[in-house]
Structure 1
Amino acid sequence: MTKLMVEDRIDRPAADVFRAIVSPDGLSSFFTAEASAAMVPGTVVTWRFGHVDATFDVEIGEIETDRLISWRWPGADVTIELADADGGGTHVTVTEQPMGDGIEGAARAVGQTQGWTYFVCGLRAYLLHGIRHFGLSAAIRATVVG
């Protein structure tokens, strides 16, 4: 099964990173336009993404405080792992799978790489500098041509 992984390091404790992701106020500060509720295992929350005029129901999976966050959304499973980084801070690993096969899978991987890179950059900007939604637009595109 093809999976995508995006990794980064954020100079904040895992507890801060975790809170920013699982709370509706935190998540809507850097990733979604709106999150209907906190992430609680076994629940379904609704996320709205204003820049692409999309709304998704997200099934929350396993949550381990300050360590693991997982969910299922249309077509894929997402896991975010948090670990102590060498020299301090938190190592963040986002994994999404499956990506699919052939040109369709490659195109999905390109799009999701773009999205998860924005996620970790937005999370860092929010946690380190208080910057909310620093500039993703509906015009940004990445394309696979085969």
Structure 2
Amino acid sequence: MTRKLIVEDRIDRPAGEVFRAIVTPDGLSSFFTTEASAAMVPGATVTWRFGHADAAFDVTVGEIETDRLISWTWPGAQVTIALADEDGATRLTITEQPMGDGIEGAARAVGQTQGWTYFVCGLRAHLIHGLRHFGLSDAIRATVVA
């Protein structure tokens, strides 16, 4: 069985606006990354930089459906973000897999839940309130202890 993490939320903005914020370098670097090397288009490899953690890694873009679906692989997992219109707002369903088994899988799920919660909160703060990077920190930690 493949264990996966699913994070869902709703943002009071049209799907097209949410989609553009995620797939464009300017959009993504406004709330999540420090820099994205290029737009997310199917088959592209994009480098994401995270200045607060002095980290960078490559993202391989998978399927993209304008205003509906964004997918990619990154180290150790595949991510899919489904967007659905809800009366002018957008329902986001973020799925990341695999999470793994045992304590390692649980620890990954905790960390990724933390990251995806930040992603959605940052996206909302940017799209609704115009805020850019409202609080990246390299000090926040979540730990799973067996």
TM-score, scaled relative to structure 1: 0.98
Deviations 1:5-63 (A, max 9, x none): 11110000000000000000000000001000000100100001112211110000000
Cα distance in 2, alignment partners of residues 109 and 136 from structure 1: 20
State the AA in 1 paired with 2:95: T
Secondary structure, aligned partner of 2:128: helix
Instruction: Spell out the pairing of 1:115-130 with structure 2 (5 A cutoff).
Output: 115-130=115-130
Partner of 2:99: 99
Instruction: Spell out the pairing of 1:59-70 with structure 2 (5 A cutoff).
Output: 59-70=60-71
Partner of 2:13: 12
Partner of 2:110: 110
Cα distance in 2, alignment partners of residues 28 and 6 from structure 1: 21
Partner of 2:88: 88
Give structure 1 stretches of 5+ with no counterpart.
none
Cα distance in 1, alignment partners of residues 104 and 115 from structure 2: 16
Moved over 2 A (4+): none
Secondary structure, aligned partner of 1:32: coil
Secondary structure, aligned partner of 1:131: coil
State the AA in 2 paired with 1:81: A
State the AA in 2 paired with 1:72: T
Number of paired residues? 145
Q: Is 2:40 the partner of 1:49?
A: no
Q: Is 2:145 the partner of 1:145?
A: yes
Q: Could you tell me how far 1:136 is from its partner in structure 2? A: 2.2
Give structure 2 stretches of 5+ with no counterpart.
none
TM-score, scaled relative to structure 2: 0.98
